[in-house]
């Protein structure tokens, strides 16, 4: 008798994280996580924000796996969300890996969204969506770093697919929408001078804040020798294309002065970035 096609075991992780403001400062208000997602809380420095570390205990995502995350900051809360290591997207047998994140910032809230890099193995298929809803006077400092192939072993991202999407709403209205799609002849698209120009990594720095603060961020970028644009009033964007370690080094150079000048925080990287 013919045998049934074997079904591969898939992982579907979910996490919910909420912060609230109290007379003693920002505190954890809500927590839920289901494997393979886990949220850890490293002890912050006394002068820094409460920090949450997103951990995929599975070590990475294969085709058909998914992660879903919701982060909510109540009015006036201030927090940081980061990761202890890079997220790895393994070669897929056909199904995409999915990562869906939703950030909600109430009036006066401040969030640092500072995950470490996501690495696409050759043959990976990733659909990643970020949705942000924030009040007009909230602040979001976000970075993302995407690496195409395992650079340390000379691997290129020549097979697979990527859909990477951002939607940011402020005051209930769509303020910014962006999406990147890679499929088909990936080697040609990576090499194209009007594509990735041979780069194997791309980085994003986003600062959404009241208009005057975003203007100050643009002035800071000029002082740092960084090309950036005000895509909308109150929304600053900077992008990088290049070799993976160089892009990470440049993000690490820019983050400390951004934290100090714009958020009034210590001029240092998240501890998990350097430990």
Full domain range(s) for residue 44? 12-274
> Is residue 199, in this structure, part of any structural domain at all?
yes
Residue 52 located in a structural domain: yes
Asked if residue 2 belongs to a domain, the reply is no
* pLDDT above 70: residue 4: no
CA distance 131 to 236: 17
In a domain, 44, yes or no: yes
Mean pLDDT, rounded, for 57-64: 94
Q: Is residue 232 part of a domain?
A: yes
Strand 229-232 to 235-242 pairing? antiparallel
Q: State mean pLDDT over 154-170.
A: 96
C-alpha distances (whole Å) from 251 to each of 8, 217, 268 are 38, 15, 12
pLDDT over threshold 60, residue 234: yes
pLDDT at 173: 95
Closest by CA position to 200, among listed 242, 240, 163: 242
Q: Assess if residue 175 is contained within a domain.
A: yes
| pLDDT at 236 > cutoff 90 | yes
pLDDT score recorded for residue 3:
53
In a domain, 182, yes or no: yes
* C-beta of residue 218 within 8 angstroms of C-beta of residue 236: yes
CB proximity list for 160: less than 8 A, separation 6 or greater: 91, 92, 120, 122, 123, 124, 125, 126, 186
86-106 tens-digit pLDDT: 999 999 998 999 999 999 999
Model confidence at 172, in pLDDT bands (50, 70, 90)? very high
Residue 247: half-sphere exposure toward Cβ, Cα within 13 Å: 24
Residue in the block written with tokens 């202890």: 84
Count CA atoms within 13 Å of residue 26 on its CB side.
Answer: 24
Q: What is the pLDDT of residues 108-138, one digit of tens each?
A: 999 999 999 999 999 999 999 999 999 999 9
Residue 225 lies in a domain: yes
1 pLDDT exceeds 70? no
Report the domain count for the chain: 1
pTM comes to 0.95
Using alpha carbons, list the distances in angstroms from residue 79 to 19, 63, 110, 124, 170. 7, 32, 7, 32, 19
């Amino acid at each position: 008798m013919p045998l049934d096609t074997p079904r591969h075991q898939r992982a579907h992780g979910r996490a919910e994280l909420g912060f609230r403001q109290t007379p003693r400062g920002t505190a954890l208000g809500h927590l839920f996580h289901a494997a393979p997602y886990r949220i850890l809380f490293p002890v912050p420095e006394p002068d820094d924000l409460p920090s949450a570390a997103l951990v995929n205990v599975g070590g990475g995502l294969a085709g058909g796996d998914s992660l879903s995350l919701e982060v909510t900051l109540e009015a006036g809360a201030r927090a940081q969300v980061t990761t202890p290591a890079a997220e790895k997207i393994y070669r897929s047998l056909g199904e995409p890996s999915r990562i869906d994140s939703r950030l909600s910032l109430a009036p006066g809230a401040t969030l640092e969204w500072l995950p470490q890099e996501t690495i696409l193995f050759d043959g990976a298929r990733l659909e990643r969506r970020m949705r942000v809803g924030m009040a007009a006077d909230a602040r979001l400092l976000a970075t993302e770093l995407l690496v195409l192939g395992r650079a340390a072993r000379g691997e290129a991202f020549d097979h697979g697919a990527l859909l990477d999407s951002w939607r940011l709403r402020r005051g209930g209205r769509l303020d910014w929408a962006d999406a990147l799609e890679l499929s088909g002849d990936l080697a040609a698209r990576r090499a194209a001078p009007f594509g990735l120009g041979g780069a194997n990594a791309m980085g994003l720095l986003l600062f959404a804040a009241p208009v005057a603060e975003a203007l100050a961020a643009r002035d800071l970028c000029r002082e740092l020798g960084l090309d950036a644009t005000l895509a909308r009033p109150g929304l600053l964007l900077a992008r990088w294309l290049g070799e993976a370690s160089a892009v990470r080094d440049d993000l690490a150079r820019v983050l400390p002065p951004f934290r100090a000048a714009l958020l009034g925080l210590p001029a240092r990287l998240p501890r998990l970035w350097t430990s």
